[in-house]
């Protein structure tokens, strides 16, 4: 087990499009274990391999209060059910200081495999649906600040500058 470093905006490695997993071996299981450890340590609801500089389509999610319901999504994709949008705000471990709703689909059907390569589908609504869409965006090199208005982006950049200064002082 190992804690992995989480990349932060504007790191260009967050922009890569991750490659599908083709072989389900011990190496993949080790990555999944390390990603789960890193997600729990960072107190995130989810983590995509792209965020820890691994160029593979692997996601871990745990939206439970008790932090004991890990879900593994390898080569995930989804289809929207209906057109209802979620107003749940979302944050990102790679984009500190930004927190807002992006109007994601509220209801999706997820298709993915587990760490053994077994295909499954799962109906997701609410926070789980938002989280799945957020993580798949990471695998495609997208971040939650990409489509926001100029005004919101300027506010975010200002806040980020402040956060970075505080981090520097704390070192």
> Would you please indicate which residues are annotated as catalytic (active-site) residues?
135
Q: Which is nearer to Ni ion, 16 or 24 (CB)?
A: 16
Which of 92, 110, 124, 129 forms a contact with Ni ion (CB under 5 A)? 92
Site for ligand GNR in 33-52 (CB under 6 A): 44-48, 51
Is 138 among the residues that bind ligand GNR (CB under 6 A)? yes
Is 28 among the residues that bind Ni ion (CB under 5 A)? no
Q: Under a CB-based contact definition with an 8 Å cutoff, are residues 20 and 149 in contact? A: no
Stretch that binds ligand GNR, among 16-24, 26-34, 133-141, 152-160 (CB under 6 A): 133-141
Q: Which residues bind ligand GNR (CB under 6 A)?
A: 44-48, 51, 90-94, 130-131, 134-135, 138
Q: Which residues bind Ni ion (CB under 5 A)?
A: 92
């Amino acid at each position: 087990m190992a804690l992995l470093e989480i990349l932060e905006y504007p790191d260009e490695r967050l922009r890569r499009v991750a490659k599908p997993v083709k072989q389900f071996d011990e190496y993949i299981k080790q990555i999944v274990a390390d990603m789960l450890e890193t997600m729990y340590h960072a107190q995130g609801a989810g983590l995509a391999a792209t965020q820890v500089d691994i160029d593979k389509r692997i996601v871990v999610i745990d939206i439970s209060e008790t932090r004991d319901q890990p879900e593994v999504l390898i080569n995930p994709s989804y289809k929207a059910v209906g057109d209802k949008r979620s107003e749940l705000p979302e944050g990102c471990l790679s984009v500190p200081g930004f927190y807002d709703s992006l109007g994601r689909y509220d209801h999706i059907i997820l298709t993915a495999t587990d760490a053994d390569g077994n295909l499954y589908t799962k109906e997701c609504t609410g926070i789980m649906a938002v989280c799945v869409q957020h993580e798949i965006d990471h695998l495609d090199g997208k971040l939650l600040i990409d489509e926001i208005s100029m005004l919101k982006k300027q506010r975010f950049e200002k806040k980020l500058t402040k956060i970075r200064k505080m981090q520097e002082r704390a070192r």
